[in-house]
Amino acid sequence: MSDDQRKKDSNRGEGKGNETRGSGSVVFVLIAVVCAIVASAFLMGNNTNRIRYPDLERLLREHAETLASSNPTNRPKIETASTQDPAVVVEYSDLQSVLLGDETITGTVMYRKLGTAGKDRSNAENVPKLVKFSTIRVRNDAQDASLNKLLIDSGVQWDNARPNRWLADHWLELMMVAAVILLGVIMLRRIGGMGSPMSFSRSRGKLHGQEDLSISFEDAAGIDEAVEEVREVVDFLKNSEKYQALGGRIPKGVLLVGPPGTGKTLLAKAIAGEAGVPFFSLSGSDFVEMFVGVGAARVRDMFQQAVSRAPCIIFIDELDALGKSRSGSVVGGHDEREQTLNALLVEMDGFDSNSGVIVIAATNRPETLDAALLRPGRFDRHVLVDRPDVAGREAILKVHVRSVRLADDVDLRHIASITSGFVGADLANLVNEAALLAARGDKTSVSTQEFDEAVERVTAGLEKKNRVMNEDEKIRVAYHEAGHALVAAALPNTDPVHKVSIIPRGIAALGYTMQRPESERYLMTKTELESRMKVLLAGTLTEEMIFQDISTGAQNDLERCSEIARSMVMDYGMSRLGRLNFRRSTRSPFLAGGGGNEYQFSYGAETAKMIDKEVARIVEDALTQTREILSQRREVLEAVTQRLLEVEAIDNTELNRLIQQHTGGPWLVPGTVTEKPRAQIRTDETDAQRNASAT
């Protein structure tokens, strides 16, 4: 071990000792608080006035004389010197209650200060107050008999005290002390146990041994490219001498980025499982606490534990909770989050590159991470864990159906083809939903029917069997969905219709037209975007054509159509305003939507008017062409609607049969669709053919 490393370890040890010594002071503070509460409670509880026994007898005689006199309105009172300061004269009057104990007499009486003896009493208290009093009881037969007679003659309410009332008198103080002690015990256990009462600085990382990690790269299906990127990390952990002999340096950190549910955490566990090394897992939010400095101490403790168990892997999930970019403002520049981030930067840049500790982090918001965290030397390698393609989804389904009994008609390739955009977590949920549906139907295996129903559950929501629509609404929804399906089938640049249904699903959907792409798409042409707009507008235009009225059911369709048109103008340069971009997106590439403003605009008021006019023109053109398709294919529209009213749902086979049966001419309506030619690589032969055709 180098001298620098020994120095660092010794500094860490000193820091840990200081933290231990400092934590003891908190225990003393807790004890002091308990003592203060007890002392104040007893002082408050013992705030009673001492009265002499002869004065008590005098006051009882005054009560007896007042009671026996012809003018009972006179207040019984006596004046005497205060027991605390003999120079002060006080007045006792109107005994309220008397409690006779074995050694003391207690009770309540009206009391006020009259001032100093022999001087002016102008500063005397005007209104007497009710106070507790106590006096020492003189015990003999004569005194007891005399006291009992005075009490009876005075008419004062009195009683004999029970032998021991200490617990009854001080139960409130005891409850307060018990509550403080219980609260302290709970806090100590939550932050690290009684043996380490202030172990805030201890890392919350969970250590998984080799026996706990049975996951391998075979379980991380559908992300083959990401697996290949991290294989050499496993090789280094197994054969580090090979790399060190050649002077190579393994990446200190691997950052896994991608949408939620794609398998980032699973890939990290597979790395540890393949390498057979300890695996520390924790979240980025586990470092940050309400106390300043705790997060930085936990980072140091985490790396100290990792170095002692090297080779090992530290996995930090949701790194964006810890590593957000630091603000440039002075205010709040030294908050807890930034101190924790600084500690992480120092630790990742400070530990030996060949120590065998590799940090793997996962995030779906890499654009928010601090630039210093992403530079080489910390997170050297960024691995994209993207959404799987058809082959990847099929491989993921094979992993999740290992423990599921499948029927003979199940085709995983078909299921993968109709689940475009699904990630690993979605597919796992899909398999589980299909198995639950089969069990609910008392079946012995899961068939294609359950998988299709599960796809609809995941994408469209639960079927609302109890939501009964009236006949008018049902007919309107049937025409609406038939219009969507008809236009989608009429246009060549749209995804094929998979199913049309008028059964309510989800939160607000009264019906739906499900389209499924035939292959993975990464680009969209202008014609394809215009076709999508026409399909979205077809529902409300069908209502307008049939009922001469429209409903609120097209709200989501209009919202999506307007967004496509605005994106064509402002983002993609697909308008008469030219190849210009008018806004910059600030949304995460891996998260759909989110709060706040997702765009930054860079244009004036006049340009905004031009943009609005162009968006309206694009939508109006789509409306015109969609009306033409619907009017030309009115017979097919009526047939599809009638069939939906009969069976409530039809698949693509039934839809195509109805179209072929009720179509009398060419399917594409002239003037509504202009299918673009396929792209070709330009060669000398194609140039010669083009010139020949021109001549």
Say whether 258 counts as a known binding-site residue.
yes
CA dist., res. 630 & res. 652, Å (int): 19
Question: In DSSP terms, which residues pair with 136 in a beta bridge?
Answer: 104
Ramachandran sector of residue 521 (left: φ over 0; alpha: ψ -120 to 50; beta: rest) = beta
The answer to whether 520 touches 565, Cβ cutoff 8 Å, is no
List of residues 6+ apart from 35 with CB closer than 8 A: none
CA dist., res. 243 & res. 240, Å (int): 6
Say whether 557 counts as a known binding-site residue.
yes
Q: Where are the beta strands (DSSP E) in 357-398?
A: 357-363, 381-384
List of residues 6+ apart from 175 with CB closer than 8 A: none
Say whether 101 counts as a known binding-site residue.
no
Q: Write the single-letter amino acid at 165.
A: R
For residue 88, what is the enclosing H or E element?
A: strand 88-100
Say whether 170 counts as a known binding-site residue.
no
Measured in whole angstroms, the distance separating CA 686 from the mean position of its chain's CA atoms is 58
Assigned token pair, 670? 């002239």
CA dist., res. 464 & res. 420, Å (int): 25
Say whether 260 counts as a known binding-site residue.
yes
For residue 639, what is the enclosing H or E element?
A: helix 634-647
Say whether 666 counts as a known binding-site residue.
no
Say whether 252 counts as a known binding-site residue.
no
Tell me which long-range contacts 227-231 makes (C-beta under 8 A, separation of at least 24).
227/267, 227/270, 229/381, 229/383, 230/254, 230/267, 230/271, 230/383
CA dist., res. 181 & res. 488, Å (int): 71
Which of 254, 257, 210 minimizes the C-alpha distance to 236?
Answer: 254
**β 49-50/129-136 pair status:** parallel
Among residues 481, 530, 543, 614, the one annotated as catalytic is 481
Say whether 596 counts as a known binding-site residue.
no
DSSP result, 268-315: HHHHHHHHT--EEEEEGGGS--SSTTHHHHHHHHHHHHHHHT-SEEEE
List of residues 6+ apart from 19 with CB closer than 8 A: 198, 201, 297
List of residues 6+ apart from 385 with CB closer than 8 A: 223, 226, 256, 257, 258, 262, 263, 264, 267
Omega within 30 of 0 (cis) for the link into 72: no
Say whether 73 counts as a known binding-site residue.
no
The answer to whether 202 touches 196, Cβ cutoff 8 Å, is yes
Tell me which long-range contacts 210-213 makes (C-beta under 8 A, separation of at least 24).
210/276, 210/277, 210/278, 212/279, 213/269, 213/272, 213/273, 213/279
Query: Side-chain half-sphere of 543: how many Cα atoms within 13 Å?
Result: 19
CA dist., res. 223 & res. 236, Å (int): 21
Say whether 334 counts as a known binding-site residue.
no
Say whether 695 counts as a known binding-site residue.
no
CA dist., res. 337 & res. 6, Å (int): 29
Q: How far is CA 119 from CA 52, 88, 116, 583, in A?
A: 23, 10, 6, 90
The angle subtended at Cα 48 by Cα 43 and Cα 49, nearest 5°, is 140
481 is catalytic: yes
Q: Write the single-letter amino acid at 345.
A: L
CA dist., res. 141 & res. 126, Å (int): 40
Which residues are part of a known binding site for Zn(2+)?
Answer: 480, 484, 557
Which residues are part of a known binding site for ATP?
Answer: 258-265
Catalytic residues: 481
Which residues are part of a known binding site?
Answer: 258-265, 480, 484, 557
